[in-house]
Amino acid sequence: LLTPAAHAQRPKPNYDESQVPKFKLPDPLVTNKGKKVDSAEEWQNVRRPEILELFENEVYGKSPAAPKDMLFEVTSVKNDALGGKAIRKEVSVYFSGKKEEPRMDLLIYLPAKATKPVPVFMGLNFYGNHTITDETDVKLNDHWMRSNKDKGIVDHKATEASRGKSSSRWPIEKIIDRGYGLVAIYCGDIDPDYDDGFKNGVHALYNSKQKPAPDEWGTIAAWAWGLSRALDYLETDKQIDANKVAVMGHSRLGKTSLWAGAQDPRFALVISNDSGCGGAALSRRRFGETLHVINNAFPHWFCDNFNKYIDKENELPVDQHMLISLIAPRPVYVASAVEDRWADPKGEFLSVKYAEPVYKLLGTSGFGADKMPGINEPVQKQMGYHIRTGKHDVTDFDWEQYLNFADQHFRGS
Ligand code: GCU
């Protein structure tokens, strides 16, 4: 990695399509030994495990198995939330099984009128569950977070002023009106988003004294692991249909939803919103954010082996289309925004396209888009994609598409 001074001198990001280097992507359907994969069985038994292992070893790092004795505590239930539309619950998950840190808090909204277990969207947030809702009686998050004056985060703690500050990204009423539930979790409950030498969060549960080995979990892997633990809880909740959980994330948390969905087949649908470098975007394109930049700016996100490929993207045994392929045959949706060039919209699109042969091999409708679709013109088959107008954010337009996509796959409509 670079010294801070050298990092400051880093090359300007490339936004010129003609400067994108020529590259050859590894083929998701050719095994490490060079054999062409031609059956669903060979994909499931040979190639998929190979790719999963490559991402574990070289990109995100290996995560431990689920702890044996987690403790789930329902801390509040409100049957007339959102003016009577929703049931709202808060649930604390104690990873060690004892009432001690690390602990993550789930905020759950479910349609009040549901007569059977409901499908849900689950997503991590940046500043605490109380920031996604305008309801002021939700618990104020008590964990470390990145200070942000505009968001009401002072000295790394949430203040009352932070309530509802991210609600534009979470249209809870719309989600409820469409018959879905929402499960929210603050990412920092699982692992605080800074380079602390892996001493805190769930890393502390496993690596209390030392930094993980170069092929062990970074923060993105820890967050993804936390999402799977939240799913462990959802499987115990009778009001939720745990076979219909869509995991959704934005930006660094979109990288996370992809990795969570890739590893844990219990996630029935996976959504990446503007996830960019280390998420949906192809690393080899070196458009906008690169491995060089991301690994220096956020040394804790990936495993240390990922640093080997800084400025040597062609040596990566994988690229991010293979991350998408790990989700097959389950529905996957990737979204980009025109002004979010940092995340490389075209690279995000191409990952979906180059994962399509796996979806086809597994007998699904695949993607069906050869060229990037027009702006605000979503493509939705087994694989979905859109590029919308606007900047790096989560908007109502994005949610509208995710809800339509979920209707198609969870309700056949
Ligand atoms: C930075 C980072 C991106 C990341 C984004 C976010 O811009 O470079 O990789 O996706 O933060 O999480 O908002």
Nearest to 253 by CA among 212, 219, 204, 291: 219
Task: Indicate if ligand 1 lies below 6 Å from the C-beta of 187.
Answer: no
pTM of the predicted model as reported, rounded to 2 decimal places: 0.98
- The answer to whether residues 317 and 305 touch, using CB atoms and an 8 Å cutoff, is no
| CA dist., res. 168 & res. 399, Å (int) | 11
| CA dist., res. 156 & res. 142, Å (int) | 10
Neighbour-count burial for 207-232, b at 16+ CB within 10 Å, e otherwise: beeeebeebbbbbbbbbbbbbbbbbb
CA Rg value for the chain? 20
- What is residue 244's predicted lDDT score, i.e. its pLDDT? 98
| CA dist., res. 144 & res. 413, Å (int) | 42
Task: Indicate if ligand 1 lies below 6 Å from the C-beta of 348.
Answer: no
Q: Is the ipTM of this complex over 0.95?
A: yes
Distance 319 CA to ligand 1 centre (A): 19
Q: How many Cα atoms within 13 Å fall on the side-chain side of residue 96? A: 12
Scan for tokens 């491995």, then name that residue. Answer: 291
Joined tokens for residue 381: 């088959």
| CA dist., res. 342 & res. 354, Å (int) | 21
Q: Which of 63, 162, 251, 336 is catalytic?
A: 251
- Nearest atom, ligand 1, residue 297 CA: 8
Distance 56 CA to ligand 1 centre (A): 21
| CA dist., res. 268 & res. 246, Å (int) | 6
Cα separations in angstroms, 373 against 187, 229, 340: 32, 36, 16
Scan for tokens 């490339």, then name that residue. Answer: 14
What is the best residue among 289, 292, 320, 340 to mutate for testing ligand 1's pocket, by most ligand atoms within 8 Å of CB?
289
Nearest to 258 by CA among 309, 333, 342: 333
- What is residue 206's predicted lDDT score, i.e. its pLDDT? 87
- For the packed helices 219-234 and 252-263, what is the interaxial angle rounded to 10 degrees? 60
- Nearest atom, ligand 1, residue 253 CA: 12
- The answer to whether residues 202 and 103 touch, using CB atoms and an 8 Å cutoff, is no
Bridge-partner residues for 86, per DSSP? 81, 111
The answer to whether residue 251 is catalytic is: yes
- What is residue 10's predicted lDDT score, i.e. its pLDDT? 75
One-letter identity of residue 211: K
The answer to whether residue 392 is catalytic is: yes
- What is residue 108's predicted lDDT score, i.e. its pLDDT? 99
- Nearest atom, ligand 1, residue 278 CA: 9
> Per 3-state DSSP, what percentage of the chain is helix, strand, and coil (rounded to 5)?
35, 20, 45
Distance 278 CA to ligand 1 centre (A): 10
What is the best residue among 251, 295, 394 to mutate for testing ligand 1's pocket, by most ligand atoms within 8 Å of CB?
251
Task: Indicate if ligand 1 lies below 6 Å from the C-beta of 284.
Answer: no
Neighbours of 119 (CB within 10 A): 22
Distance 252 CA to ligand 1 centre (A): 5
Joined tokens for residue 12: 């300007």
State which residues of the chain have pLDDT below 50: none
Task: Specify the pairing of strand 383-388 against strand 332-337.
Answer: parallel
Is 33 buried (19+), middle (13-18) or exposed (0-12) by CB count in 10 A? exposed
Task: Indicate if ligand 1 lies below 6 Å from the C-beta of 294.
Answer: yes
State the SS3 of 134-183.
CCCCCCCCCCCCCCEHHHCEECCEECHHHCCCCHHHCCHHHHHHCCCEEE
- Nearest atom, ligand 1, residue 254 CA: 10
Cα dihedral value 251, 313, 207, 155, nearest 10? -40
Task: Indicate if ligand 1 lies below 6 Å from the C-beta of 337.
Answer: no
- Nearest atom, ligand 1, residue 250 CA: 12
